[in-house]
Structure formats: structure tokens, C-alpha cells
Structure 1
Amino acid sequence: MGVDACMQVLEKLQEKCSSNNRSYPAMYSSIVGGIILDPAMMVIPMDDHMVHRGHGVFDTAMIMDGCLYELDAHLDRFLRSAATARIIHPPFFPNSSSGSEQEKEKLRSILVQMTAASGCRKGSIRYWLSSGPGDFLLSSSGCSPTPAFYAVVIASDYEQCRDEGVKAVTTSVPMKPPLFATTKNVNYLPNVLSIMDAEDRGAFASVWVDEQGFVAEGPMVNVAFLTPHRELVLPVFDNILAGCTAKRMLALAPKLDGVLQLTGGVSNRKITVHEARRCVEMAFVGSGLPVLPIVEWDGQPVGDGKVGPVMLALSDLLWEDMKSGPHRIPVPYY
């Protein structure tokens, strides 16, 4: 392809990006070996096995007031997911083992530098590790000797969820098997179908219930309950993704014991649908929320059908932790 043709392609891509009205101020690509600021150049090779075979993992972190929140916790999960997916040769240190501190430090450094280059002070980052480009076969044996690492900054003026609450429905879309549910991989088709199912039924999101009748999780969030005995319950993480925000909630919630009298304690355990439907409060828990109260589930009110004080207090607690807590990494903007 000649220079003129290349310029025409680039112009078309830039035109398309400008018309989308989306804010992706920076991307990192190990294929390029650096940070990209032009959205038209933020591309992934078609023969990357993450694209056509789903052989990749990802994770995220929020940007709040110029700091990356809980990045280390997300990176730890990211590297565990990579090991489960057998993406075991890090792109920067081919001779090290996946999940090494050296690898984690390098990834952290890249993500911090990318965020700094973006100038974004509120939003999120998302990052992927794939088996890399190579061919269109099923096996990854023909891929690059080292995986590919991609990351992007997503600018968003998100706010704490303190509205009137949302509706949830139980989805009929099958759950992922435990191996894939506990690994944050790029196969999100069940998640997409379940959120579409919820939207079709006028709800914000759906809730999965497993074959034994235990509440599992939402399509991109965990679920929290307050029982009539004032026990805060989050479903155990054995067959679902261990949400970083949910784990942080479990750590911070005991601080509310004296204020809101969580006399039943704070638990990470199995909870049946029957018990869950008798709860007085319910909420989705996730990075960008951080707590979103649910006031109606499958057409029935949760508790009195209003946002409850415990979930609001937990939302305030997590929001304050995002703004001034100890798990924040300041970004050295240029």
C-alpha cells in the first residue's frame, strides 16, 4: 500500500473516531511498544488470538481525582487470571514466571505512565493480556513468542450512585462454569446476553442463580444483601468472580457496626434465593458504582421498596475510600 493510500485510511479512521464522540485519551500497546494518543491508531491485530479465539484476560481500575484506586488488587487478580488462561510468558520478562513481582511492577509502571500521558483525572483504565498475534488457528502455539499487553484510558465523569435505586431480574441465561466465572477472561457473551435480558425487561441488570438455588452474581457486579437479622451477606466467591470492590466492602463494613448496628455481622457465604428474597436491603457492588441499591427484584419490592440506610452508608464508605483511602496511587501527570 502506497503512502497516499495509507494516509487515506488514516483519515477515514480519524473521521470515524471523531464522529463517535468517545473519549479514549491514551492507549498502550506492547505491539507498538509505547503509548498511543491518536484514537485512530488504537488498534489490535486481527490475528491476535484474543480477537478471534477469546484467548485473553483483562481487568480494570478506577481513576479518581488523579489517583488509580486499588490498582494492585486488580493487578494481582489480572495475573492470576493470566496464569489460569495459560498465558504464562510475560511480554516484558520472557524468562520470569507469570505473576512475579517484577512483572507486576512493570505493568503498574506502564499503566501509571499511560494514565499520566492521557491527562485524565476521572474515569477508568482497562487492560488486557492475550496470547498474541500469529495465525487464525485454534492453538496458540503459532502465536508470538511472548503475549501482547494492551491498555486504554476511558475518561468518564462518573458519580456515586445515590439515586432512587434500580430494578433487578433473575436471568435465564446460563451461568459460566466456575473455572471461567472465577477467571476474568474476555469471553463475556453470557454477561452481554444477561444484561440485554435485563434491559429487555426494564431492569438495570440481572442476577444469576446457580443450579442449587444459591444467588451468584450480576453480569459485571457482585450482589450484597442485608438480612432481617442485620447481617451483611455477599455470596461466597467459590463459583463467581471475586470482585475487588466487594472484597473491599467486606473489609470496610465492620466500621459501620456501631453506627448501623450490623448485629448479624459481615459474611461472605452462600445465600439461597429464598433467604435473599426475605432480605430488607439489596445492592449491586462494583468498581464504577461502587454500591447501587436495588429496590425491586423480579417485580417484588426489596424490603419496603426504598433505598435503605445500610447500603447508602456502605456506598458513602467506599466512595470516601476511593477519594482518600490508603489504596490509591497518585498519577504523576506531565
Structure 2
Amino acid sequence: MTDSSHKSPEVENDGDFRVHVFSSSSELLEKLHEKWSSVEKQPYPAMYSSIYGGIILDPAMMVIPIDDHMVHRGHGVFDTAIVLDGYLYELDVHLDRFLRSASKAKISSPFSRSSLRSILIQLTAVSKCKSGTLRFWLSAGPGDFLLSSTGCPTSAFYAVVIHHDFSQCKEGVKVITSKIPMKAPLFATVKNVNYLPNVLSVMEAEEKGAFSSVWVDEAGYIAEGPNVNVAFITQDKELVMPSFENILLGCTAKRLLELAPKLVDEGLLKGVATKSLTMAQGKDAAEMMYVGSTLPLLPIIEWDDQPIGNARVGELTMLLSDLLWDDMVAGPDTQRIPVPYV
């Protein structure tokens, strides 16, 4: 072996490039550990894999098979729950939507609902994470590289806990109308892993100096954001969200619709509704916001370089944000599950 075999892969001539061959699994594992050795804080404290049949604490082993149909065909669904102050927020609501998505995607779970729930709670407990996200996937499973999943012996369930420090969003952001075609209703209403349109719409916004984007359908009605719902306070002080027939019903959006009537009872809002909104009606709103699990509510102060209301974060927006935040921090037992940390 010559000295050139130890050179960096960044060589002048392609002919000089030599691909390293790992001679053993231990050598490969050592290389993977090198990657994580320089990380100050492990962002992924624990993962579950039905392929391994247990919880993984070593980040170097938090992998999925390359022939998993979720990887090369996008045949998979997912969902996300929040871990806050040692509680899992709205786990059951997210799990129910997860299983509805799986049914529409024709993926059967290798476990019962109660077993999935138990796995997720145990995973969070072992992770010792008190603030973060719990993300979980159901795929058609590994087996081959064909389109059909008939060659996959069984579906696969994966989950990972991710450290994240949450705080209320109090600063307003700018958005644009996305020119990336939105998903057809069949795919928009299933929380699946095919997120290329979502990714491109966010990149499109960032390239224009905006935070994110808003989809408007072919009929001119407001739909949703790339991974969030949108909501408006009209000039008449009504909370309005676009109808959910052709877009994903967000768990946090659903919860906001349940909590918002409190402000109606206090005389601060005149009503709460879901209905079709044109882009012109949205831009004429007094206040606008994103609604999503990891926000849970983010004020929007400008859309396509046009100010929303007075271009400042609205009072009703923050009151709604307070309702959601209080629900996350100290809501009813039906919403918050205590994690039995070990």
C-alpha cells in the first residue's frame, strides 16, 4: 500500500480516487463513532427500530435499511408528538392520525395500537429527554427495490426522540405564496414521507428572504403551509381556518379550534369557523398565523411583501398562542401523558 492510499478523497484526478473498502463491521462502527465523537450534545438520545426489535442508544447504530421501501419508494407515513416538561403532549391524537394515514397508504402495523403507544412512552422514558420531539414512522418495510411492497416480509416501525428547547413564538415572520404545485388531496390528507413539494416550497421562500410559504389551490382558495396550517383573524374578529377537505387536518389546529371558543365567551372573538378563503380575503385579514405542533403558533406579519393588518404581531394572535401554550404546559390529563423516566 502506497502513501497515496491515505490521501484525502479530494484529489486532482478522478483516476487517482480510490474508494475505501471496510474490511469488517467493527472497522465501520469505529468510523461511525468518529462522526459522533466530536458532537458536544447528542441530539438523538434514543431510537426504536422494529428491525432490531428494541431501543438503540448508540447514535452510530440509528440507521434503517437501504432497501426499506420508505427510503427508495417513499412508501411510508409518519407523525410527531411533543415532549414538554416531561410530558407527552397529544400523543393519542397524533397516534390516531398516524394509523389513519397508514391505512390510507395500505401499510399494516406490525403492532397493535396499544403496543405502539407503549413503545413510544418507553422510548421517551429511556431517552431521559424532558423537552423535544417524538417522531415515528411506519414503512412498508425492507425487502427489495421494486415498486410493489409484496416482497417485503413485514412492515417496519421506527421512532426517535430529538432534543429541542421550546418557547413561545412572539416575533412575526414574512411568507410568500408558493409557486410549487401543492399535493393532490389524496396525498395532502395523508401524513406521508413524500415531502419534496414541501421542501421545495420552503427553499423557494428562503431564497426570497421569507420564513416560509403558503399554498393556494387552483380555485384560488388558501390551503396550508408546507408543514403547518394557517389561520386568520378577520377584520370582524372572527378566527377562520381554511376548510380541511383537501389538506391535512393538523392536530394543533384541531386543538386550537377547541380552545378558541374561550375567547368568544370572553367577548374577545366574535366567532370560530373553518371555511374557504380567497387569497385576497387572507391578505385583508387583521391578523395571520401558522399553526403547528412544534410552534405551536407563529405570527405572520407580511405576505408577498404586503403587510398583514398593521404589520405587527396581533393581540388576538398572542391570546390564542397563550391558550395553546398553557394547554401544552398545564393542560388536562387527556392531552398530557406523564413520562415514567427511568
TM-score range for the pair, normalised by the shorter chain length: over 0.9
2:106 maps to which residue?
A: 86
Q: 1:118 aligns with which of 102, 118, 127?
A: 127
Where do 1:66-215 residues align within 5 Å? 66-88=86-108, 90-92=109-111, 103-144=112-153, 146-163=154-171, 165-215=172-222
* Residue type at the aligned position of 1:274: A
Asked whether 1:233 is paired with 2:240, we answer yes
Q: 2:255 aligns with which of 223, 230, 248?
A: 248
Report how many residues are paired: 318
Q: TM-score, normalised by structure 1?
A: 0.93
Distance 1:236 1:120 in 2: 36
SS of equivalent to 2:260:
helix
Alignment of 1:272-311 (within 5 A): 272-311=278-317
How far apart are 1:17 and its partner, in Å? 2.8
Is the CA contact (8 Å cut-off) linking 1:260 and 1:310 kept in structure 2? no
CA distance change for structure 1 residues 213 and 18 in 2, over 3 Å: closer, same or farther? farther
What percentage of residue pairs aligned between the two structures are identical? Answer: 64
SS of residue in 2 equivalent to 1:311: helix
| CA deviations over 1:177-204 (Å, ceiling 9, x no partner) | 0000000000000000000001011111
One-letter amino acid matched to 1:44: I
Tell me which residue corresponds to 2:80: 60
User: Partner letter of residue 223 of structure 2?
Assistant: A
Tell me how far 1:60 sits from its aligned partner: 0.5
Task: Name which of 71, 76, 82 aligns with 1:51.
Answer: 71
Q: Once the 2 structures are TM-superposed, how far is the Cα of residue 225 of structure 1 from its aligned partner?
A: 0.3
Q: SS at the partner of 2:248?
A: coil
Tell me, in whole angstroms, the C-alpha distance in 2 between the residues paired with 1:29 and 1:124. 17
* Corresponding residue number in structure 2 for 1:99: none
Indicate yes or no: 2:323 matched with 1:317.
yes
What are the Cα deviations for residues 69-127 of structure 1, in whole angstroms up to 9, with x where unaligned? Answer: 00000001000000000002x213xxxxxxxxxx2111110000000000000001100
The C-alpha deviation readout for 1:210-256, integer Å capped at 9, x for no partner, is 00000000001000001111110011111111000000000000001
Q: 1:35 aligns with which of 51, 55, 63?
A: 55
Aligned residue for 1:241, secondary structure, equals coil
The aligned residue for residue 26 of structure 2 is 7
Q: Taking structure 1 as reference, are residues 209 and 9 closer, same or farther at Cα in structure 2, changes over 3 Å only?
A: same
Tell me by how many angstroms 1:158 deviates.
1.9
Query: What's the TM-score once normalised by structure 2's chain length?
Result: 0.91
1:274 Cα deviation (Å)? Answer: 1.4
Question: What letter is aligned with 2:184?
Answer: P
Offset at residue 4 of structure 1 (A): 7.2
Give the 3-state SS of the residue equivalent to 1:140 in structure 2: coil
Counterpart CA distance in 1 for 2:276 and 2:30 is: 54
Q: Give, as a single letter, the amino acid of the residue that structure 2 aligns with 1:11.
A: E
Unaligned regions of 5+ residues in structure 2, if any? 1-21
Q: Is the 8 A contact 1:249 1:318 kept in 2?
A: yes
Structure 2 CA distance, aligned partners of 1:19 and 1:315?
Answer: 38
Q: CA shift at 1:258, angstroms?
A: 3.9
Letter in 1 for 2:25: C
The separation in 2 between residues aligned to 1:143 and 1:270, in whole angstroms, is 42
- Cα deviation for residue 151 of structure 1 reads 0.2
Residues 171 and 197 in structure 1, CA contact (< 8 A), matched pair in contact too: yes
Partner residue in 2 for 1:331: 339
* Residues 20 and 180 of structure 1, relative CA distance in 2, 3 Å threshold: farther
Distance 1:260 1:302, change over 3 A: farther
CA distance in 1, matches of 2:256, 2:222: 18
1:20 deviates by 5.5
The one-letter amino acid paired with 1:83 is: S
User: In the TM superposition, what is the alpha-carbon distance from 1:51 to its structure 2 partner?
Assistant: 0.3
Q: Single out whichever of 194-203 and 11-20 deviates more from structure 2.
A: 11-20
Query: What's the secondary structure of 1:225's corresponding residue?
Result: strand
Gaps of at least 5 residues in structure 1 are: 93-102
Structure 2: distance between partners of 1:20 and 1:207: 35
Q: Does 1:223 align with 2:242?
A: no
Post-superposition offset of 1:7:
1.4
